[in-house]
């Protein structure tokens, strides 16, 4: 059995290796229930989401509101930095403010998109959520960031691609509402990683060849044996640590992980489309936000992409948009097609 | 098998509690805590059953958002492996006793008051 490691956040050690032997019937019921609930949500979406504040919203400028949960789990918490206010001196607050702003600028300057809903929606972020909290998430109307336990993880605002990843979940939710399970869920996660890493590259003015293509590198403490939480260039190689285990991401369809864990492997199989984007981007000299990002963005917004689309459906859309944007025999179209073939999504 | 119908616990049963979701899937932290009813005294088994029955008032995990964490509880037969009851609860909705049970295992059943 694995060693016991006590951490401030109370992580359970890997002491039991046997997985839950849940029956298919239970899984089917779960999936059906999720679909029904998601359908209900999809119809109701936006009903409780924060709306554009006409008195303060200006297209092309973010409307950020950073709150502190003060180590509780009540959202959004106390407002600690409103749009235009000076730095607070609290690193988590100021990082959330800066990276949400960088993400807004990316979407506005690259795609002409005005915030999450393309209608100037306020960017609401909460930091200091819970105590020693090792996570960041999108709850359907705002972004939430934990401080990390300090043992394995640092604060989750430290990495711009993580902040941008969470904001992008809001974009995906508004544009296509990909079901958060199985291949559609893995595609959802991949798109959040793709646009997350694009924000980082755009902000740093990095070429695809110079970029590290890592997700969450700044989150890991020195005690973790690993470089990041995910590697888009080489899925499955981000970490190999006695406590965290080994990065389970595949980079090719032959290694696709069929699992009930992680909502059907949404953070696992996302490695496959992640690598496809990386391969397409590095095959071209132009910055990724100019070459393949517009292709991925157009595919994500294409009406032909359904809430339950799989990798192959998305790949076909990216190839079609690459041809439309750059020409039938263009280098860009070939790079996109080749990338999906190399990861085994297209044969 | 609705969420209010917690089956009567028997010594043949196994309860698995796992914490799922989050920004990344970390295999080393994903293994479920498993509690074998066979190893519990009658009192602890009854206490566990009573605690589980209280979950009827806790809503099922939300499917909105992304990267959110939840607790999954599965009761299954040790003999057949067949699951007979399952719940998913949002992390903020999980009662303190459930977090202790997941973190500490059956020793959490030594405490009488599940409200703490």
Residues A157, A135: Cα–Cα separation, whole Å: 10
Q: Which of A128, A169, A203, A267 is catalytic?
A: A267
* pLDDT, tens digit, 9 for 90 and up, residues B13-46: 999 999 999 999 999 999 899 999 999 999 999 9
Going by C-alpha positions, the residue among A55, A49, A186 that lies closest to residue A118 is: A49
Check whether residue A95 and residue A210 sit in a common domain.
Answer: no
pLDDT confidence band for B67 (50 / 70 / 90): very high
Check whether residue A99 and residue A227 sit in a common domain.
Answer: no
* A267 catalytic residue (yes or no): yes
Check whether residue A133 and residue A186 sit in a common domain.
Answer: no
Per-residue pLDDT at A50: 79
B83 in contact with chain A, both atoms CB, cutoff 8 A: yes
Per-residue pLDDT at A241: 97
* CATH code for the domain of A149: 3.10.170.10
- Substitution target in B66, B79, B108 with the highest count of A β-carbons within 10 Å is B66
**Of all helices (H) and strands (E), which one includes residue B13?**
strand B13-21
* CATH code for the domain of A198: 1.10.390.10
End position of a domain, from candidates A155, A175, A195: A175
* A252 catalytic residue (yes or no): no
- Substitution target in B31, B90, B97 with the highest count of A β-carbons within 10 Å is B31
Gap between the terminal Cα atoms of chain A: 41
**Of all helices (H) and strands (E), which one includes residue A200?**
helix A182-204
| Cβ partners under 8 Å of residue A205, min gap 6 | A287
CB contact under 8 A, A245 and B29: yes
Please give the interface size between A and B, counted as residue pairs whose CB atoms are below 8 Å apart: 137
Which residue range forms the structural domain that includes residue A103? Answer: 64-175
CB contact under 8 A, B24 and A265: no
Check whether residue A107 and residue A251 sit in a common domain.
Answer: no
Per-residue pLDDT at A12: 25
| Residue B80 C-alpha, separation from nearest chain A C-alpha, in angstroms | 9
B49 in contact with chain A, both atoms CB, cutoff 8 A: no
Among B33, B63, B64, beta carbon nearest to A12 = B33
Check whether residue A202 and residue A323 sit in a common domain.
Answer: yes
**Torsion, CA A19, CA A24, CA A26, CA A32, rounded to 10:** 120
| Residue B92 C-alpha, separation from nearest chain A C-alpha, in angstroms | 7
3-state secondary structure A237-280: CCEEECCCEECCCCCCHHHCCCCCHHHHHCCCCCHHHHHHHHHH
Per-residue pLDDT at A265: 96
Per-residue pLDDT at A43: 37
Check whether residue A194 and residue A330 sit in a common domain.
Answer: yes
Residues A176, A38: Cα–Cα separation, whole Å: 12
In a domain, A37, yes or no: no
CB contact under 8 A, B24 and A229: yes
For residue A319, the Cα-to-chain-centroid distance in whole angstroms is: 22
Q: What is residue B41's three-state secondary structure?
A: coil
Q: Which of A166, A173, A189, A332 is catalytic?
A: A166
Cα A15 to Cα A90, A206, A311, A325, B104: the distances in Å are 37, 42, 35, 52, 11
For residue A4, the Cα-to-chain-centroid distance in whole angstroms is: 31
Residues A77, B92: Cα–Cα separation, whole Å: 14
What mean pLDDT do residues B47-54 have?
93
In a domain, A25, yes or no: no
Residues A332, A322: Cα–Cα separation, whole Å: 6
Among A12, A244, A262, beta carbon nearest to B102 = A12
In a domain, A6, yes or no: no
Check whether residue A186 and residue A249 sit in a common domain.
Answer: yes
| Residue B65 C-alpha, separation from nearest chain A C-alpha, in angstroms | 4
| Residue A126 C-alpha, separation from nearest chain B C-alpha, in angstroms | 14
Gap between the terminal Cα atoms of chain B: 29
CB contact under 8 A, A137 and B60: no
CB contact under 8 A, B30 and A192: no
Check whether residue A196 and residue A84 sit in a common domain.
Answer: no
End position of a domain, from candidates A142, A175, A208: A175
In a domain, A13, yes or no: no
Going by C-alpha positions, the residue among A164, A162, A112, A100 that lies closest to residue A134 is: A162
- Chain B positions touching A15 (Cβ under 8 A) are 31
Residues B59, B72: Cα–Cα separation, whole Å: 13
Annotated domain spans of chain B: 13-60+68-105
- Chain B positions touching A41 (Cβ under 8 A) are 63-64
Check whether residue A337 and residue A262 sit in a common domain.
Answer: yes
Check whether residue A194 and residue A114 sit in a common domain.
Answer: no
Check whether residue A70 and residue A200 sit in a common domain.
Answer: no
Count of domains observed in chain A? 2
pLDDT confidence band for B6 (50 / 70 / 90): confident
pLDDT tens, residue order, chain A (347 aa): 332 222 222 222 222 222 222 333 443 344 334 334 433 433 344 446 777 777 777 899 999 999 999 999 999 999 999 999 999 999 999 999 999 999 999 999 999 999 999 999 999 999 999 999 999 999 999 999 999 999 999 999 999 999 999 999 999 999 999 999 999 999 999 999 999 999 999 999 999 999 999 999 999 999 999 999 999 999 999 999 999 999 999 999 999 999 988 999 999 999 999 999 999 999 999 999 999 999 999 999 999 999 999 999 999 999 999 999 999 999 999 999 999 999 999 99
pLDDT confidence band for B4 (50 / 70 / 90): low
Per-residue pLDDT at A15: 23
Check whether residue A193 and residue A330 sit in a common domain.
Answer: yes
| Residue A2 C-alpha, separation from nearest chain B C-alpha, in angstroms | 9
CB contact under 8 A, B29 and A262: no
End position of a domain, from candidates A149, A175, A201: A175
Kindly state the tokens that stand for A38.
Answer: 């998601």
In a domain, A259, yes or no: yes
CB contact under 8 A, A135 and B81: no
């Amino acid at each position: 059995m694995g060693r016991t490691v006590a951490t401030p956040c109370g992580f359970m050690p890997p002491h039991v290796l046997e997985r839950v032997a849940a029956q298919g019937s239970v899984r089917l019921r779960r999936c059906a229930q999720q679909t029904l609930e998601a359908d209900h949500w999809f119809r109701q979406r936006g009903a409780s989401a924060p709306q554009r504040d006409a008195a303060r919203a200006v297209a092309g400028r973010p409307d950020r509101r950073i709150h502190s949960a003060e180590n509780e789990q009540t959202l959004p918490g106390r407002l600690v930095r409103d749009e235009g206010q000076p730095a607070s001196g609290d690193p988590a607050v100021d990082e959330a403010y800066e990276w949400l702003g960088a993400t807004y600028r990316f979407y506005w300057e690259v795609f002409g998109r005005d915030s999450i809903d393309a209608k100037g929606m306020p960017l609401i972020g909460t930091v200091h959520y819970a105590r020693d909290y090792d996570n960041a998430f999108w709850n359907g109307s705002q972004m939430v960031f934990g401080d990390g336990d300090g043992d394995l993880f640092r604060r989750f605002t430290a990495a711009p691609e993580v902040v941008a990843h969470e904001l992008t979940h809001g974009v995906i939710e508004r544009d296509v509402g990909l079901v958060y399970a199985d291949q559609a869920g893995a595609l959802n996660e991949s798109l959040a990683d793709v646009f997350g890493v694009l924000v980082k590259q755009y902000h740093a003015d990095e070429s695809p060849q110079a970029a590290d293509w890592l997700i969450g590198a700044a989150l890991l403490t020195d005690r973790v044996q690993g470089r990041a939480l995910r590697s888009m260039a080489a899925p499955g190689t981000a970490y190999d640590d006695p406590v965290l285990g080994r990065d389970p991401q595949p980079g090719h369809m032959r290694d696709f992980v069929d699992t009930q864990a992680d909502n059907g492997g949404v953070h696992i199989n996302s490695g496959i489309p992640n690598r496809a984007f990386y391969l397409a981007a590095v095959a071209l000299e132009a910055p990724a936000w100019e070459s393949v990002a517009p292709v991925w963005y157009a595919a994500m917004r294409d009406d032909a992409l359904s809430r339950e689309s799989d990798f192959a459906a998305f790949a076909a859309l990216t190839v079609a948009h690459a041809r439309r944007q750059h020409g039938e025999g263009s280098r860009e179209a070939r790079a996109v097609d080749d990338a999906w073939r190399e990861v085994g999504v297209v044969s | 098998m609705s969420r209010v119908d917690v089956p009567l616990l028997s010594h043949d049963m196994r309860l698995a509690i796992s914490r799922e979701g989050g920004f990344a899937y970390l295999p080393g932290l994903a293994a479920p805590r498993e509690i074998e009813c066979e190893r519990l005294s009658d009192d602890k088994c009854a206490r566990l059953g009573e605690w589980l029955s209280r979950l009827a008032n806790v809503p099922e995990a939300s499917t909105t958002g992304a990267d959110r964490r939840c607790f999954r509880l599965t009761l299954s037969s040790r003999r057949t492996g067949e699951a007979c009851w399952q719940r998913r609860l949002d992390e903020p909705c999980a009662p303190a006793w459930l977090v202790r049970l997941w973190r500490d295992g059956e020793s959490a059943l030594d405490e009488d008051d599940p409200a703490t």
